[in-house]
A and B are shown apart, each in its own frame.
Chain A
Amino acid sequence: MKQNIGSKKELLGDYGLVLGIEIHLHVKTQMKMFCGCSNTDLFDAEPNTRVCPVCLGMPGALPVPNKEAVEKTQLLGLALSCEINKHSYFDRKHYFYPDLPKGFQISQYKEPLCKGGIVRLQSGNGILLERIHLEEDTAKSFHEGEETFLDFNKSGVPLIEMVTKPMIYSVGDALEFGREIQEIVRHLGVGDANMEKGQFRVEPNISLRSPLEEKEQKIPEYKVEVKNINSFKFMEKAILSEIKRQKEILDAGKIPIQENRGYDEAKGKTVPQRSKEEAHDYRYFPEPDIPPMKFTSSYIEDLKKELPKLPGEIKKRLISKYDLGQHEADVLYNEELIELFEETGNLIQDYKKVANLLVNRPEHRDKTPEELLSYIAKEKSRIDDSEALQPIIDTVIEENKRIADQVRDGKEEAIEFLIGQVMKKTRGKAAPKTVRELLSEKLTA
């Protein structure tokens, strides 16, 4: 999707933009990641009603991984051309925070489920992925004055983390990448990816580089990670405001501090997030409570067979098979009109016409192929060229002089009567829009 985001030069000056993106997304499963608590409709559940000793992080509770979550992560990996690790296991990632009462998050470090991978953008640019791994989400915390409140319903929800290489060079590509992943995740049934519900969180890390660094393909020595983004609109705003801030610092001959910032919707800019530097000492080690996972080639092959065609492939097929444009393909796909489009197109053998109708005239989208066929047939017999209509219009004006005069005097609604007369003479076959244009041209010019 092309966005009008101002000229590159105006925005960046001589600097080049370097972006990496981290995405966290909730996996849609029956149960949570390591316990039997239900993972459906969590958003609407009363606080702390979907919890058990495992997801409350109580001592002695035994986490047991969820196969459905593992499979869905691997399915997403296959869709993004990742390598599926045949040997994978969970690690403990330690940090101290009330939303994680057992003191560590069960995550993956050395052997994630998926390695590598690529996402092709419409521009032809390929965005390489570092990895995709599976972990557990933490509890939700609410901060209010001197207190923090905790709801553990979200604790233990299976969470996929995906990280790109820092090789996205424009805001437009970053947005397209995010939307593309969201679309694929939904298409595969891996997750609902609702950003407002926190099911799909995008964290861009942003830095600028000098023309020399750009020429030498060097990655800048700092990066700023922006968190708290719950829509693509805010993601765009956050990146733009961050570019502006970093450019000012660099212009002054300084280097921005490497830090985490949050996007403040009210201020329309990013603000530093207070955190302790030492917090990054995660002391990862293999989770001893969970045996490792091994996957055979035949298991991976079987999973590949489950992979449905991806949105990008479906649209590409429409474009080449029926000679459609990208926009038409996007609308037909997004509005779930492909089946109707193809059936109707087969009936009347004019795919371009059907696509036009469905894309530009949403009121026809609920019709059956047969109804569309008869509508289009009627349209085709329409008298829509002014040369054919002109004599009829002249006759109607001649026969209704008084009404025509009223239109000339500015009584606009009188024109409806004249249109009616033309329709009557053509037995409903005249195109009303053209008739109106011709009449008002004639009478108000």
Chain B
Amino acid sequence: MSTISKSTVEHVAVLCSLTLSEKEKERLESMLSETVDFIGVLEELDTNSVPETYQVIGTTNVFQKSDRVSVSLDRKEALSNAAKIKNGKFVTGAVFDR
């Protein structure tokens, strides 16, 4: 009982900037369907009287402390995980302008 279609897999792949082979698409179609179906168990609960939320701890207005300026990394550290560096900048494959 597949809930995810092939076109959905293709759409998600585009959003994630992933190139998938036909075989991978098939595999993901069933894997993603399985995952969604698993979470679908929650549908069995009656949530009509439960308000939607994204936050359960109830705090509001949490802002920066103004004395916290400059916790910046030094450049060497900032770039330390980069696959490629040039002139102090991260380098990636060419992308076009948005």
Q: Note all chain A residues with C-beta closer than 8 A to B48.
A: none
Q: Note all chain B residues with C-beta closer than 8 A to A152.
A: 78, 90
Residue among A67, A228, A285 facing the most chain B CB atoms (10 A cut-off): A67
Assembly CA distance A66 to B25 (angstroms)? 43
Encode B80-94 as 1/0 by CB contact (under 8 A) with A.
000000111111111
Q: Note all chain A residues with C-beta closer than 8 A to B61.
A: 291, 293-294
Q: Note all chain A residues with C-beta closer than 8 A to B54.
A: 285-288
A48 interface residue, CB < 8 Å from B?
yes
Assembly CA distance A285 to B60 (angstroms)? 18
Which of B55, B62, B73, B75 lies in contact with A65, CB distance below 8 A?
A: B62
Q: Note all chain A residues with C-beta closer than 8 A to B97.
A: 143, 228, 262, 273-274
Q: Which residue of B lies closest to A287 (CB)?
A: B54
A363 interface residue, CB < 8 Å from B?
no
- Contact (Cβ within 8 A) A288 B55: yes
A404 CB, min distance to chain B CBs, angstroms: 72
- Contact (Cβ within 8 A) B15 A278: yes
B49 interface residue, CB < 8 Å from A?
no
Which of B55, B60, B64, B94 lies in contact with A286, CB distance below 8 A?
A: B55
Q: Note all chain B residues with C-beta closer than 8 A to A47.
A: 75, 87-89
B38 interface residue, CB < 8 Å from A?
no
Asked, given contacts A149-B86, A286-B54, whether A97 binds B95 with beta carbons under 8 Å apart, the answer is yes
- Contact (Cβ within 8 A) B96 A274: yes
Q: Note all chain B residues with C-beta closer than 8 A to A294.
A: 60-61
A36 interface residue, CB < 8 Å from B?
yes
- Contact (Cβ within 8 A) A37 B70: yes
Q: Note all chain B residues with C-beta closer than 8 A to A56.
A: 73, 78
Asked, given contacts A31-B69, A50-B72, whether A291 binds B91 with beta carbons under 8 Å apart, the answer is no
Label chain B's interface by main secondary structure.
loop
Q: Note all chain B residues with C-beta closer than 8 A to A51.
A: 72-73, 78
- Contact (Cβ within 8 A) B69 A36: yes
Q: Which residue of B lies closest to A54 (CB)?
A: B71
Which of B16, B57, B68, B92 lies in contact with A96, CB distance below 8 A?
A: B16
Assembly CA distance A97 to B17 (angstroms)? 9
- Contact (Cβ within 8 A) A67 B63: yes
Assembly CA distance A35 to B17 (angstroms)? 28
B66 interface residue, CB < 8 Å from A?
yes
Assembly CA distance A94 to B54 (angstroms)? 17
Encode A30-58 as 1/0 by CB contact (under 8 A) with B.
11000111100000001111111100100
A151 interface residue, CB < 8 Å from B?
yes
B20 interface residue, CB < 8 Å from A?
no
Assembly CA distance A30 to B93 (angstroms)? 34
Assembly CA distance A48 to B87 (angstroms)? 10
- Contact (Cβ within 8 A) A291 B98: no
Encode A273-302 as 1/0 by CB contact (under 8 A) with B.
111101101010111101111100000000
Assembly CA distance A66 to B64 (angstroms)? 5
Q: Which residue of A lies closest to B74 (CB)?
A: A49
Q: Which residue of A lies closest to B14 (CB)?
A: A278
- Contact (Cβ within 8 A) B88 A290: no
B32 CB, min distance to chain A CBs, angstroms: 15
- Contact (Cβ within 8 A) B63 A65: yes
- Contact (Cβ within 8 A) B78 A98: no
Q: Note all chain A residues with C-beta closer than 8 A to B59.
A: 291
- Contact (Cβ within 8 A) B72 A37: yes
- Contact (Cβ within 8 A) B79 A31: no
B11 interface residue, CB < 8 Å from A?
yes
Q: Which residue of B lies closest to A49 (CB)?
A: B75
A409 interface residue, CB < 8 Å from B?
no
Assembly CA distance A68 to B88 (angstroms)? 30
A387 interface residue, CB < 8 Å from B?
no
- Contact (Cβ within 8 A) B15 A148: no
Q: Note all chain B residues with C-beta closer than 8 A to A148.
A: 91-95
- Contact (Cβ within 8 A) A38 B63: no
Assembly CA distance A241 to B57 (angstroms)? 53
A258 interface residue, CB < 8 Å from B?
no
A10 interface residue, CB < 8 Å from B?
no
Assembly CA distance A36 to B90 (angstroms)? 22
Asked, given contacts A36-B64, A65-B62, whether A46 binds B75 with beta carbons under 8 Å apart, the answer is yes
Q: Which residue of B lies closest to A37 (CB)?
A: B72
Q: Which residue of B lies closest to A286 (CB)?
A: B54
A216 interface residue, CB < 8 Å from B?
no
B67 CB, min distance to chain A CBs, angstroms: 9
Q: List 11 A-B contacts (CB under 8 A).
A: A30-B69, A37-B71, A47-B89, A48-B90, A52-B72, A64-B64, A94-B15, A143-B94, A149-B90, A290-B62, A293-B61
Q: Which residues of B contact A (CB under 8 A)?
A: 11, 14-17, 54-55, 57, 59-64, 66, 68-75, 78-79, 86-98
- 5 additional A-B pairs beyond A146-B93, A274-B96, beta carbons within 8 Å, are A48-B75, A56-B73, A65-B63, A150-B92, A293-B61
